[in-house]
Amino acid sequence: MGTPEFAVASLQALVNAGCTIVGVITAPDKPAGRGMKLTQSAVKKYAEEQGLHILQPEKLKNPDFITSLQALQADVQVVVAFRMLPEIVWSMPPMGTINVHGSLLPQYRGAAPINWAVINGEPFTGVTTFKLQHAIDTGNILLQDTIAIDADTTAGELHDTMKETGAALLVKTLTQLAAGIVTELNQSSIVNEAVLRHAPKIFTDTCRISWEQPASQIHNLIRGLSPYPGAFCLLNDKMLKIFRSKKEIVAHGLTPGTPQTDGKNFLKFACTDGFIQVLEMQLEGKKRMQTEEFLRGYRFA
């Protein structure tokens, strides 16, 4: 069960490992683009290439879908970047329903674990396989793998690393589960609520840059929201999304948010303890570009 490109890596790993996949459940085709043509999910495209049986339910509690799912007689269900499942679905297979989550649970439960790990400046994160239960991301942990986060790694780069790491961990998990050698770890036995960090959905206000913050914090926000949805500020009343940056820790007397540029090679904004130098950006109504290209066509007031 999955929808975006992130889930394709796991499905492909299961195919390559020789697993018997009795069905693929993904989102219904949706209109997209200027012509509003029906567009298939990334998972559906791959599943069709492999000749796999596909189900695309609008509602997961629909009796017809439940009957079709039961008819597959799956031993185990795998969920990667899908949607919340009702109990009648996740409790169906005898070996349970396995989820691949982009963090080292119980840390970063929620919808955007990759983004928040980077935004918070974590030096490492990871991927977890666990069994679904009622509360989101709280089921018994099966296996985990750690991933380092460099100081300039973006959420997009971490996403690409994690989808491959997660796919390999999923195959390992199912292999051990089938062999009966996985030891389940109850999250309640390791949770200290006081030190838990969460990963809620990203909203517009999350993406707005506050130049009154330290350079390191702003730099982490920019890379944690790159390439999507993108951290932004206003430049002459137009939205400027920043995708790559470099921090400079230096004393200055400028008001936070003041832009500095030579008009050719650099653009940077003052913050409380230095500057954020912009390396890649997109001004409202324009394409995404490097700083030098942007400055060739932009004139500051």
**Dihedral over alpha carbons 147, 148, 149, 150 (to 10 degrees):** -150
What was the pLDDT predicted at 22? 98
Cα dihedral sign, 269-271-273-278: negative
Q: Give Cα separations from 52 to 16, 23, 55, 97, 109 (angstroms).
A: 13, 6, 10, 19, 31
Q: Which residue type is seen at 174?
A: L
Residue with token string 């050698």:
181
DSSP state of 3: -
Residue 41 is labelled as binding a ligand: no
Determine contact, residues 112/136, Cβ cutoff 8 Å: no
Question: Where does CATH 3.10.25.10 sit in the chain?
Answer: 205-297
Question: Where does CATH 3.40.50.170 sit in the chain?
Answer: 5-199
Determine contact, residues 80/170, Cβ cutoff 8 Å: yes
Residue by residue, DSSP assigns 96-146 as -EEEEESSSTTTTEES-HHHHHHHTT-SEEEEEEEE--SSTT-SPEEEEEE
List per-residue pLDDT tens for the chain, 301 residues long: 999 999 999 999 999 999 999 999 999 999 887 778 889 999 999 999 999 999 999 999 999 999 999 999 999 999 999 999 999 999 999 999 999 999 999 999 999 999 999 999 999 999 999 999 988 999 999 999 999 999 999 999 999 999 999 999 999 999 999 999 999 999 988 877 668 999 999 999 999 999 999 999 999 999 999 999 999 999 999 999 999 999 999 999 999 999 999 999 999 999 999 999 999 999 999 999 999 999 998 887 6
Residue 103 is labelled as binding a ligand: yes
The CB density around residue 87, as the number of other CB atoms within 10 Å, is: 11
Residue 227 is labelled as binding a ligand: no
Phi, psi dihedral angles at 124 (to 5 degrees): -155, 160
CATH number of the structural domain 205-297: 3.10.25.10
* Global confidence as pTM: 0.94
Determine contact, residues 42/27, Cβ cutoff 8 Å: no
The fold of the 5-199 domain, in CATH, is Rossmann fold (3.40.50)
Residue 226 is labelled as binding a ligand: no
- Do the bridges between strand 231-235 and strand 141-148 make them parallel or antiparallel, or are there none, so unpaired? unpaired
What was the pLDDT predicted at 32? 81
Q: Which two tokens stand for residue 222?
A: 């920019």
Helices (H), the chain: 5-16, 42-49, 63-72, 87-90, 113-119, 155-179, 204-207, 215-224, 291-297
